Chain A
Amino acid sequence: MAEVLVYVDHVDGAVRKPTLELLTLARRVGEPVAVALGNGAADTAATLAEHGAVKVLTADAPEFAEYLVVPKVDALQAAYEAVSPAAVLVPSSAEGKEIAARLAVRIGSGIITDAVDIEAGADGPVATQSVFAAAFTTKSRVSKGTPVITVKPNSAPVEAAPAAGAVEALSVTFGDAAKGTKIVSRTPRESSGRPELTEAAIVVSGGRGVNGAENFHVIEELADSLGAAVGASRAAVDAGWYPHSNQVGQTGKSVSPQLYVANGISGAIQHRAGMQTSKTIVAVNKDPEAPIFDLVDYGVVGDLFQVVPQLTEEVKARKG
């Protein structure tokens, strides 16, 4: 069976969930061979093996942390040349997309970004994309070279599928461009202790209706009662009420949780672009005409400062 390269997104050896979802999709197309780079790369192997990786190619070098993107492209290209895969799958993070795109041009292949599903097809993998702010669903295929496809988080279930996961060292030679952009310093983002926004099963968001940073605790308390991540509209972020890293929408994160709860958010097209593929959508908004109500499975027309705390209390009571 043909091999499929899967680029591993991990933090010091802890594999992030979207990579495990990629393994599920990769198994539909061939035998997954994972590529893990940087600090802790070898520590990823056990988890990757449990989810179907037949092999784990690892490389660590200071360049991965000291220079932007290109060293990782060099490494992924080395893996591509070593394996001659049927496809290359990469998580759709900002960095993942850039790595995938540069690789595609180098190896003379087409690229599809932000797929939400992949199936095997007669002429190679077929990728589903959700486009024009999720108003359309397209099916596309790479028609030249080895398909390079990036996949959004929450696009496939994580499945246990034990495989060998044999670790092999990947030998990487860095090209001239690798040291082009120096990472002078890095400030890790502070963890909120809540689930990662793009990976969460439930997202609770607040918009301009929250009316102040000092009120966002109302949103956070509901999120915590549900074990959810907290999101915000751009209006709330631009007003300085909540960090940009929590923004949902076209210029923020794109989320596709099981449940999305929009509070005091009108539902502008750019916000919808980031949440419209959520499975279930509910909203609280005092304006019955708000466009967000066109999307909802359940909506409450009312003041969020009445409705949301009452909901939080109910959730807590029922969860005991």
Chain B
Amino acid sequence: MSLRIVVCVKYVPDATGDRHFAEDLTTDRDAVDGLLSELDEYAVEQALQIADAADDAEITVLTVGPEDAKDALRKALSMGADKGVHVEDDDLHGTDVVGTSLVLAKAVEHVGYDLVLCGMASTDGTMGVLPAILAERLGVPQVTLLSEVAVADGTVTGRRDGDAASEQLQAQLPAVVSVTDQSGEARYPSFKGIMAAKKKPVESLDLSDLGIDADEVGLGGAWTKVEDAAKRPERTAGTIVKDEGEGGKQLAEFLVSQKFI
């Protein structure tokens, strides 16, 4: 039977742009160009490698996001994924991680899955918890933050490099897996891949398709509330000296003046 892989990818504002908050204290998505979260490219890459190693596999890329989030799906499709699913609904604006995970869980079940692959964290919210919550909601094993992953005979194995130790993990499919940026460089879409992606199917779903009430998600349904967002004050300009042979000593003087030495 075909291995059904669903890769969750997020469409995010470019981190190198000047990111802002909108008036309702949600992410201002108009201020900066959006793209496929770079850390989710690693998940797409691992999905492609796992699919290559399997006899038969199908990769669906799934995103929850505004209309432009289709760009993220196209990028993943041009890397080689087979089809896309886009959950889009005006009522999703301002959804927190609890709501997003609910939508993703329902969507993953709608598609059907043996393996769900995620990135280690988004580059905007950066919480790094969505895969764990997804596993909790789906009631399947959580095999997260892997820097190495393999799937064979219905079992997923991988290495998780933690703070105190590096652990070898193992779980039965179906499972939710997340991979880090140490898992292997993501491929660039080829010209052929980009052309092919244009013809690949993308299914659009809204909340009612997934049986989710509008008041379970969005800014109103969120279980967290941002009360204030302020630009961090600019750091006061520091002293910059050119090394004329005494730079190390001058730096030492500064550290003494600040009582670090």
Contact = CB atoms under 8 A, between A and B. Distances in A.
Contact of B243 (A130, A185, A303): A303
A245 B147 CA distance: 12
A228 B104 CA distance: 43
B214 interface: no
B1 interface: no
Contacts of B98: 104-105, 110-111
A251 B224 contact: no
Interface stretch (A21-29, A52-60, A133-141): A133-141
A284 interface: yes
Interface stretch (B46-54, B75-83, B129-137): B129-137
B145 interface: yes
A113 B222 contact: no
Contacts of B192: none
Contacts of B252: 311, 314-315, 318
B239 A105 contact: no
Contact of A137 (B136, B172, B225, B230): B230
A307 B247 contact: yes
A11 to B, nearest CB: 6
B249 A135 contact: no
Report, as a range, how many residues of chain B touch the other chain: 35 or more
A138 B243 contact: no
A270 B120 CA distance: 15
A288 B166 contact: no
A172 interface: no
A82 interface: no
B238 A296 contact: yes
B123 A250 contact: yes
Contacts, number: 266
A301 B170 contact: no
Nearest to B228: A139
Given A97-B129, A250-B123, A315-B252, A293 B230 contact: no
A111 B224 contact: yes
Binding site secondary structure of chain A: mixed
A97 B128 contact: yes
B250 interface: yes
A198 B250 CA distance: 28
A100 B106 CA distance: 22
B248 to A, nearest CB: 3
Interface in A71-110: 73, 93-95, 97-98, 100-102, 104-106, 109-110
Contacts of B120: 251
A202 interface: yes
Contact of A259 (B140, B226, B260): B260
A111 B137 CA distance: 15
A67 to B, nearest CB: 9
A106 B136 contact: yes
A245 B223 contact: no
Contact of B171 (A95, A181, A250): A181
A315 B255 contact: yes
Contact of B224 (A140, A270, A296): A140
Given A111-B129, A184-B167, 17 more contacts: A69-B144, A100-B129, A102-B136, A112-B224, A131-B229, A136-B230, A181-B143, A181-B175, A244-B161, A273-B15, A280-B260, A281-B235, A295-B235, A299-B238, A299-B240, A315-B255, A319-B261
Interface of B: 15-16, 19-21, 25, 39, 96-98, 101, 120-121, 123-124, 126-130, 132-133, 135-137, 139-145, 147, 157, 160-172, 175, 180-182, 222-232, 235, 238-243, 245-252, 254-256, 258, 260-261
